[in-house]
Structure 1
Amino acid sequence: MTSFIEQRVAGKKAFITGAAGGLGAAMAHLLARHGAKVFLTDINEEAVYAVATAINAEHGKTVAWSAAQNVRDEERWQSALAEADSAMDGISVLVNNAGIGAIGGVEALQPKEWHRVMGVNVDAVYLGCKYALPLLRQHQPGSIINISSMAAYKIDPDYTVYNASKAAVASLSKSVALDCARQKMDVRCNSIHPSFIRTGIVEPFFEQLGEEEAIKKLTRGVPLRRLGEVDDVAYAVLYLASNESRYITAAEFRIDGGASAV
């Protein structure tokens, strides 16, 4: 018998980008376990298909679908959302999770890299919100969850474009939230700001320094003195996707082990 806690997002239909692994895959698994249908996209078609297949195997029925998507492609946003709408009979949750980074100060960073990162981290969030909102409007209450980063606040001059892009996501999320509110739509929009999470992104640090030394370095400014886990972020997504958070919009969720307080 399914317990109450497993029904936290029963009936929800979530569209998640960047879902081939890491945070996106963890979100998809958790939402499905709590009763949601999930449509997963990623530029890596084979890997995101594997995630959807694993979710369906776990549940013994089809609750997950997948598709290839380059989130910088405006037309693909429209067609992918249409596919999801058809597969799940609607969309009530959008998770803009896809993101990339680049290293370089403002002089060293090439315009090509600036536009590439901004395209994935900011333009794609705008496109997702723009084209998902008509579908969310039909399936209220709805929720838009944009994955930003603590890099929006903790500035490193070697991460110029990443810092700028994640700050833009925080601001864009508030604009979308207020726009929905003034239209009297029951659609909320919030941003999530993780610090270092144990995903493939930190693997190069482990390889270079060894795991113990890498963790010590990465958590130097984190009061809890540990890396975050993917489920630390996935549970925040679960909460914001659920009706438990119906009065929360234009908020920033900092999942950082206390780093922003010091």
Structure 2
Amino acid sequence: MKIALLDSGIGLLAAASAVRALRPDAALVLSSDPDGMPWGPRTPEDVSARALACARAAVAHRPDALIVACNTASVHALPALRAELEPGLPVIGTVPAIKPAAAGGGPVAIWATPATTGSPYQRRLIREFAGGVEVTEVPCPGLADAVERADEAETAAAVAAAAALTPPGVRAVVLGCTHYELVADRIRDAVRPPGGAPLVLHGSAEAVAAQALRRAGARPAPAAAPSGELSVVASGRESALPPAALAYAEGRSLTAASPARG
């Protein structure tokens, strides 16, 4: 079995690691766009075109499913990706985990990029899944870029700035950008006051990984021998994991089972 993932950068690591946890024997294809990132400031048409290019590069590896491991691409490119690739190849988008966060009661904070915060897309999800729950939308300028570069100082500053905008007493934080899942522990530490109530973070990686297996007709087998292959494609070029990816446990876990192929 082979699962492909696409994103502008290393935000796909969280979902890739989640796939590997469920199926250590699965081959992975990571297709990103370092030449064109970040995608957030781009027009919807440009995001769609770049996501399609990443998808086509991944499809050349003949995967059994494709995860769009990027919130921005899922908003703007999912219809085009599905129109081109389905039903032959299942395409799984990434949606902020607002529904499960709201199900636990409020108040809830949604950390997202400035472009997503306050967007019609996010507001629609809040109306549909968080009615009656107190929700605060928190813009996180610079956080995804800092995570992408594995810049510790800039990441810490961006997390602190977003935490300052997060109301005290929040019980759950939705991580509305896949990059944020790579620094989830730092976000939890910044938002939860000492001695405060437990804080639940809601990412999307585990849910999309499980959905990808279902759509590929496979079952979880976490005890399988870790013999899966790892292929990396960067803006259409066969490559290797960027050094910044290895700054995160999710990136290191992908290289532990087998060497990258490029």
TM-score normalised by length of structure 2: 0.42
Looking at secondary structure, tell me which structure has more helix per residue.
1
